[in-house]
Amino acid sequence: MAMVIGGWLRLLLLLLLAGLAPAAAIADTATAVAEPVSAARLRGNALLPPDAGEAWEIISLPDNRRPPLVSGEVAAWYRIEFSVTAADLGRESWSVYVPFLRDGGRFFLNGHPIEHIAESDDVLRVKWERPHLVSLPDNLLREGSNTLMVRTQPRLDVSFPRLSFGHATTLQKFQERRSFVVRTLPQITIVFCALVGLFTIFIWVARPAERLYGLFGLTVLLWGLSALTFVIETLPVEHWWSWRLVYHSSTGGFVALMAVFCAGFAELRPPRIVWKTMFVFWLICPVAMIAFGDAADVWMRRVWSAGLIPIGLGAAGMICLAAWRQRTATAYALLAALVLAVLSGIHDYLLHLGRLATIFPDWAGHRIFLLHHGANLLLLVMGSILAQRFVQVLFDLEFLNRDLERRIAEREAQLDAQYQRAHTLERERATVEERRRIMQDMHDGLGSQLFQSLSRAERGDLAPPEMAHSLRSCIDEMRLALEALGTPDDSFLDAIADFRFRWERQLDAAGVRSHWRIEASADTLKFPPRTTLQYLRIIQEALTNALKHARASLIQVHILGEDDAMRIRIEDDGVGINGVANGPGHGLRNMRRRADLLGATLDIDSAPGRTRIEVRVPLAAATA
């Protein structure tokens, strides 16, 4: 996001720049500003203004000279005449606006020194990018013709601009405008490049697989480094060489990385030799700078820089191919930005070489370097492409996520259905098994009893009361089974409630008082129906004993559900087990057998007047 905003801001500034030159022209005509188009030039190292009698040559301004191949140019004196009317004098202080004077120089007004813009010497190297405003002292200014002489020692730049004379306030605007373009914009660029570059590299460090981010981050950082050339205007001599090394290397590195980025965008894989050649070419710069020192600087600018142009053209070619293949707005935008950048690079190179002056002398006279802005636009487009890809990745990710969620949900539903099926089958199997066991029980218990009774009845060995008794116990057995099976959720408490209801009435009818206490939570006491049936049988057996044999008058049933066990206690006030003549041994044995089968313990404590039967059921055993 920061990338995109930064990019847009840069684009905005670039548009501002486009309106700069015409605006300056309009300002020129609107105010009293004199811009002499001719001057006299004298080459010589004299430190004081030479006489008019010397061999001055008349030249036109701006003076677009081609720089010599070897540095060590002699100094040049420029003599510019301008006139001031009486009306202009004294009203406001005057200045001379110098759009550029890269190597600095000394200013003389009517023979008097007025200003010295620092020049390179044994301790300091200068490379002024800023425009200068030199004030013309009132006391030296004359009505009518005045002479300004400028002595400059060209090291980096041999051209001389067209100067403007006028009121300081007017000229200050000129200075501010140019200053914005050649100083402020690069400063902004540097800050943005540093931020965006580091930000992008952070992304790349976190995800090394995203090579394009690393590439872009490095490209941006190199460009920011290269743009420092607009900001570093003076430097101690001992650092100059290393700074130039950094400058050339980063500029070359920027162009090379940009080409790699473009290849990545175009999805082209040029033969390795192409990249190797490019790397070797780039390597020439630091090697030459290290080998030949400061002297290599001018060769780097003139010759080596030219080699960057084919790289840019190659990148443009790749993007051209990509645009033709992809036919996307992105590809076209990148192509346009790249073409602009390459053109502005060529422009700058020609301007530097002094060749541009022969084609556009006026424009060249302004000495505005364009690659800086062209590259900004290019970086903006590159950044936008990355941002777009990033957003696309997010969209894809969202889509994938949704797709994944949907598939997981589907799979979950399938698993759920499968589980349900398995569960249902398991339950059906368990039900069938349970039913089989109960049938077995019925067969062995109820069936056997009925057949015995039938057999005895047929033999005539069964008196009516016995017969009734036998049949009643069969019916009771059936009721018991219904109570055990009649609870839909295996609740032991429901079963015991039905059981109690039936027995309470039965005991009531027999004139036996009963007292029931059930203290348990419904949730803990859940047994399979057959287990419930066995417990009910045990209780039923105990109640039958108390009712039939012990002749009790009060029976207490207590069911207590504890955390890990259930206790069933049946107490009566009958004669006790030993008091029963025709003992209930068979019933007791049955109870014990059932308890054993269920993993429960059965305790019988019997004395005349008090019999207590207690069943203790460990809950884990009961539910297992």
Which of the residues 183 through 212 are near another protein (CB under 8 A)?
none
Choose one: 76-84, 382-390, 415-423, 474-482; the region binding another protein (CB under 8 A).
474-482
Strand, helix or coil at 477? helix
Contact present, 558 and 569 (Cβ < 8 Å): yes
CB of 524 to another protein, least distance (A): 15
Is 479 a binding residue for another protein by CB under 8 A? The answer is: yes
CB of 486 to another protein, least distance (A): 6
CB of 543 to another protein, least distance (A): 14
**Smaller CB separation from another protein, 375 or 480:** 480
Which of the residues 413 through 472 are near another protein (CB under 8 A)?
472
Which of the residues 49 through 68 are near another protein (CB under 8 A)?
none
What residues contact residue 405 under an 8 Å CB cut-off, 6+ apart? Answer: none
Q: Which two tokens stand for residue 142?
A: 């004359």
Distance CA 130, CA 101 (A): 8
**Smaller CB separation from another protein, 499 or 535:** 499
Distance CA 571, CA 593 (A): 20
**Per residue in 16-52, is it b (16+ CB within 10 Å) or e — as a string?**
ebeeeeeebeebeeeeebbebeebbbbeeeeeebeee
Query: Binding marks (x or -) toward another protein, 87..126, rule CB under 8 A?
Result: ----------------------------------------
**Smaller CB separation from another protein, 7 or 561:** 561
Of positions 475, 597, 607, 620, contacts another protein by CB under 8 A: 475
Distance CA 518, CA 559 (A): 5
Choose one: 179-187, 238-246, 312-320, 482-490; the region binding another protein (CB under 8 A).
482-490
Choose one: 302-310, 375-383, 488-496, 570-578; the region binding another protein (CB under 8 A).
488-496
**Smaller CB separation from another protein, 417 or 482:** 482
Q: Which two tokens stand for residue 283?
A: 């390597």
CB of 415 to another protein, least distance (A): 30
CB of 210 to another protein, least distance (A): 56
Q: How many CA within 13 A on the CB side of residue 162?
A: 19
| CA–CA distances in Å: residue 320 to residues 313, 315, 338 | 10, 8, 10
Contact present, 226 and 305 (Cβ < 8 Å): no
**Smaller CB separation from another protein, 336 or 471:** 471
CB of 606 to another protein, least distance (A): 26
Distance CA 356, CA 363 (A): 9
Choose one: 58-66, 221-229, 297-305, 473-481; the region binding another protein (CB under 8 A).
473-481
CB of 517 to another protein, least distance (A): 10
In the chain, % helix, strand, coil (3-state, to 5) comes to 60, 15, 25
The β-bridge relationship of strands 513-519 and 554-561 is: parallel
Handedness of CA 240, 245, 250, 256 (dihedral sign): positive
Residue 394 — φ and ψ, nearest 5°? -60, -45
Which of the residues 495 through 524 are near another protein (CB under 8 A)?
496-501, 504, 509, 516, 518
The secondary structure of residue 160, as a DSSP letter, is B
**Smaller CB separation from another protein, 174 or 499:** 499
What residues contact residue 527 under an 8 Å CB cut-off, 6+ apart? Answer: 490, 492, 535, 622, 623
CB of 554 to another protein, least distance (A): 15
The counts of H helices and E strands in the chain are 19, 17
CB of 566 to another protein, least distance (A): 16
Distance CA 60, CA 58 (A): 7
What residues contact residue 154 under an 8 Å CB cut-off, 6+ apart? Answer: 67, 73, 75, 76, 103
Of positions 90, 486, 599, 609, contacts another protein by CB under 8 A: 486
The secondary structure of residue 281, as a DSSP letter, is H
**Smaller CB separation from another protein, 432 or 478:** 478
**Per residue in 270-291, is it b (16+ CB within 10 Å) or e — as a string?**
eeeeeeeebeebbebbbebbee
CB of 567 to another protein, least distance (A): 18
Of positions 482, 607, 620, 621, contacts another protein by CB under 8 A: 482
Size of the site for another protein (CB under 8 A): 19
**Smaller CB separation from another protein, 309 or 497:** 497
Find, among 265, 383, 248, the residue nearest to 326 by Cα. 265
**Smaller CB separation from another protein, 237 or 510:** 510
CB of 513 to another protein, least distance (A): 12
For another protein, the binding residues (CB under 8 A) are 472, 475, 478-479, 482-483, 486, 493-494, 496-501, 504, 509, 516, 518
